[in-house]
Chains A and B, each alone.
Chain A
C-alpha cells in the first residue's frame, strides 16, 4: 500500500468516525432544545409541549392561542421583525426573554417604549447562592405568575421605561444594576426594586418581557417557582408553544450537525439516493476495472 492510498483511506475513515461521533453526540449549545446538559432546554421541552422553531418564517399563520418564546441572541432581519409583528398583532403571545442580546431591536420595531437594560442585575442579599442569582419575590398576580411566588434568575438584567401597571415582577429592594462592572453598588447605580417581568398588549396579542432567558434552561427549572412560571406559560397556550432556535449563536458542533443533517437530507431524496448507489458501485467496482486494465 503506497502512502497516497494509506492517507486517503485514513482520511476517509477519520471523517466517517468523526461524522458518526458528531451525529450522536448531543448538542451543548445554550438554550438548544436538544441539549440535555445544564445549559440546554431539553428537559423543559420534554416536560411541556414545546416545539423548536428553526425559522421565524415558519410561525403559525393563525397565531391566536399560540405562544412563542424568543431568546434574541442574534440580530433580526426586517422580514423576521415583520413576521414577529404579525404574530403578535394577530393574537399570538410573545415571550421575549433577553438579558444581553438583541431584545431591544425587537421592542423598537414593535413600538414599545420598554427596553432591556443590558447591564447585569446583582442582588447581594436576596439571592440563590450568590449575587448573580437574584431572587425575585415581588410578584404581581397574573396568569403567568400564578403559583410562582418566587423566581430565581441567573445572570439577569432589568427592564427600563416600563409603566408600573405593566410590571409583573420586581427584584428585591437590595438589588442594583452594576453599570461599571465592579460588582458592588455605587451611588450612581440604580438600586431598589427593579422591574424584571412585564406584560404588554399589542394588537390582539400580548408580549411578556422577561429580563433573563436563563429561566428556561434545564438547571434553573427546579429552583424555586421557575417551573410554575413555565407551567403557566404552557397553560395559557391553547394552541402551539414554540421556542425559537434560529437566533441562538451556533457552535461549531451545531454547525457541523446541521451540515450532516443537510447531507443526510439531500441523500434522502431519490436523486441523492441514486447518486449514492452509483458512488458505492463505482468504489466497489474500481479494483476490478484496474485489474482488467492491467491485463
Chain B
C-alpha cells in the first residue's frame, strides 16, 4: 500500500510540473491572438502624432510625402463618431498642402518669367502667389480651430501635462507653428522677388502627373501585346520616362510625350494566372511621379485536335491514326504529336495545314510515320511491344500535343480502340479444350464406389434397477396431525416406488421433494403442496383444521393416481 501511495505521488507531481516544460520552447512574444475576439481600440495620441508627422513633412516642404501620409490616414480604423472630424481635418490639411505647393509653383513660374523679361506675366504670377499665401494663412487658422475641436473631442485637455496625448498635442501645435513660419517665409520670398526680379529662388513644389493606361485583359507568354495610354500634367506636355513592369519584371522603358503605344512581350517562362501590369511615370523635374496598376490574366492558348482512329482493330492489322491540330483562329504547323498505345509511343510533326498521319502496326514491332505535306517522306520507327496475353478488349490510345511555341497550351487527349487478338484467343481456346477433354476422360474411366454408411453402435439404455424401499415401521397416527402425516407417508411411498429414490433418514422433506420432482414433473404441484402441509403440521405452532387434513389426503390420492396413470 505504501508503495502504491509513493508511486501515485510521483505520478501526480510529474503531471503537475510536466506541462510547464513546453513553455520553455515557445517564442518570447505572443505569436498571435484571435482576431474574432480581439477588442477594437483607437490610439488617440497616435492620431494626433500622425497629423503632427504630416505637418512636419510639410514644414520641410515635402508636400507630396505629406500628402501620401494623409492618403494613408484614410485607411485608418477610426471610429465612426470621430470619422467626420478626422475627415474634415484631413481635407483641410490636404488643401493647405496643395496651397503651399501652388505658392512655390507660382513663385517658380514668376522667377522664370522675370528671367525671360516677361515682366507683366511675372507680376501676374506674383499677385496670384500673394492671394494664395492669404489662402494658406486662412487655412492655417481653420486648421488651428479644427485642432482645438479635435483635441477637445479626444479629451486632451482633461489629461495631465505628462500624458502621451498632451505631448502629442503639443507636438502638433509646434508643427503648425512651423507651417506658419513657412507661410511667412514664402511671403517674404515673394516680396524679395518683387523687389529683386533677378533673384534665383529654390522651390520644391511638384506638378501632379495624370496617367491613363489601357491594356488587354489577357496576354500569352511570348506573344506581344500593346499597352497604350496618356501621361499629362499641369502645363505643357513634357517628355516623360515610362516603365512597364509585369509583376516586378521590367518589360520596357521608353521616353514619351503625351500619348503612348508601347509593345511588350510577357516572358515565355511567365506562369499562367493573374499578374500585375504596372505602368510607372517616373518623377521628372517639378513633375511628380505616378503609377497605374492593372490586372492581367496570363494564359496559354488552348489547342484543339481532331483525331480519326478505327473503333475496332484485329491484330496484327495496323492502326491508322490521323488528325488535325488547330486553335480557335488557325491550324498549328510543325507541332510535335506524340501517340502512345499500350506501353509504346511514337512522335511525329504536323504539316503546314496542321494535319498528321501515323500508321501503327501492333505486334510487328515497327511504326511508320508520314507527313501529309510530303507523302514520299516516311520514317520507320522500331518499337518494342511488350508480350501481351489479352484476348480482346478496349485499349487506350493517348495523343499528346506539345507545341514549340510557349503561348500554346499542351494538349493530351485519349481515345479507346477495341482490339481483338485472334492468335491469343485461338491459343487460349485450344488450351481450355485440351483441359476439358482431359477432365472428361478421367471422370468417365473412374466408377464411383458407393460409400457404406458408418454405423455407430449406441450404448444400451441402462434401466435403473428397481429399488425396494426398506420397510418403514408402522406408526399409529391420531388426530389431524396424524392424518396429515399418514397422507404424506402414503404419497412418499408412491413416489419412492416410481423414482426408486428412497426417503432415507438423512433427507429433509425439501431435499426429497427436490430430487423426486426432478424425475416426476407431473406431480410437482401436488407433492410440493403436500410437503408444505406436512412441514406446517410438524413444525408450526399454528392450529390445524380438519379441512387441511382432508386436503392432504386428497393430494396424496392425486399423486398416487397420477403415478398410476403414468405407469398404465
Contacts and interface: CB of A to CB of B under 8 A. Distances in A.
Interface of A: 3-4, 7, 30, 38-39, 73-74, 99-101, 118, 120, 124-133, 135, 137, 140-143, 145-147, 152, 154-155, 168, 172-174, 184-185, 199, 213-214, 217, 219-220, 223, 235-236, 238, 249-252
Contacts of A236: 271
A284 to B, nearest CB: 26
Nearest to B247: A142
A213 B31 contact: yes
B38 interface: yes
A43 to B, nearest CB: 14
A131 B69 CA distance: 17
Interface in B4-62: 4, 18-19, 22, 25-36, 38-43, 45-47, 49-50, 53
Nearest to A135: B75
B352 to A, nearest CB: 33
B49 A185 contact: yes
Contact of A143 (B19, B30, B72, B271): B271
Contacts of A184: 43, 45-46, 164
B290 to A, nearest CB: 15
10 contacts: A38-B35, A130-B39, A141-B248, A147-B274, A154-B35, A155-B33, A173-B50, A184-B46, A223-B35, A250-B22
A264 B230 CA distance: 69
A124 B43 contact: yes
Given A38-B36, A249-B26, A126 B247 contact: no
Given A7-B4, A100-B31, A131 B22 contact: no
Contacts of B277: 141
Given A135-B75, A174-B46, A120 B29 contact: yes
B276 interface: yes
Interface of A is mostly: loop
Contacts of B22: 249-252
B76 interface: yes
B68 interface: yes
Given A128-B77, A131-B43, A146-B273, A214 B50 contact: no
B88 interface: no
A231 to B, nearest CB: 9
Nearest to B29: A100
Contact of A137 (B26, B43, B72): B72
A249 B32 contact: no
B276 A142 contact: yes
A174 B273 CA distance: 34
Nearest to A37: B34
A238 B270 CA distance: 12
A212 to B, nearest CB: 8
A181 B290 CA distance: 38
Nearest to A183: B43
B76 A38 contact: no
A130 B25 contact: no
Given A126-B72, A173-B69, A147 B40 contact: no
A185 B39 CA distance: 20
Interface residues of B, number: 50
A164 to B, nearest CB: 12
Interface of B: 1, 4, 18-19, 22, 25-36, 38-43, 45-47, 49-50, 53, 68-69, 72-73, 75-78, 164, 245, 247-248, 271, 273-278, 293, 295
Given A130-B38, A133-B38, A154 B73 contact: no
B35 A133 contact: yes
A185 B45 CA distance: 10
Contacts of B43: 124-125, 131, 184
Contact of A146 (B36, B41, B275): B275
Given A146-B295, A249-B26, A214 B247 contact: no
A172 B35 contact: no
B274 A146 contact: yes
A99 B247 contact: no
Nearest to B37: A38
B27 A100 contact: yes
Contacts of A135: 75, 77
A129 B46 contact: no
A172 B72 contact: yes
B46 A125 contact: yes
Contact of A127 (B31, B77, B245, B278): B77
Given A73-B27, A100-B27, A146-B273, A252 B18 contact: yes
B27 A99 contact: yes
A101 B46 CA distance: 29
Contacts of B42: 124
A99 B33 CA distance: 13
A129 B35 contact: yes
A38 B34 contact: yes
A155 B27 CA distance: 12
Listed from nearest, the 3 A-B pairs whose CB atoms lie closest are: A141-B276, A124-B46, A124-B43
Contacts of A137: 72, 75
A143 B275 contact: yes
Nearest to A166: B248
Nearest to B1: A3
A75 to B, nearest CB: 9
B566 to A, nearest CB: 42
B31 A30 contact: yes
A173 B275 contact: no
Nearest to B249: A142
A59 B69 CA distance: 44
Given A147-B274, A185-B49, A130 B40 contact: yes
Contact of B38 (A7, A132, A213, A252): A132
A74 B31 contact: no
Contact of B247 (A141, A249, A250): A141
B41 to A, nearest CB: 5
Given A38-B36, A125-B73, A128-B35, A140 B41 contact: no
Nearest to A4: B4
Contacts of A252: 18-19, 22
A219 B34 CA distance: 7
Given A99-B29, A129-B38, A173-B72, A146 B4 contact: no
A154 B275 CA distance: 26
A69 to B, nearest CB: 15
A62 B254 CA distance: 40
Q: Which of A4, A142, A152, A220 has the most CB of B within 10 A?
A: A142
A185 B46 CA distance: 8
Nearest to B164: A184
Given A155-B32, A184-B45, A142 B248 contact: yes
Contacts of B50: 125, 173-174
Contacts of A142: 247-248, 276
Given A100-B31, A214-B31, A141 B72 contact: no
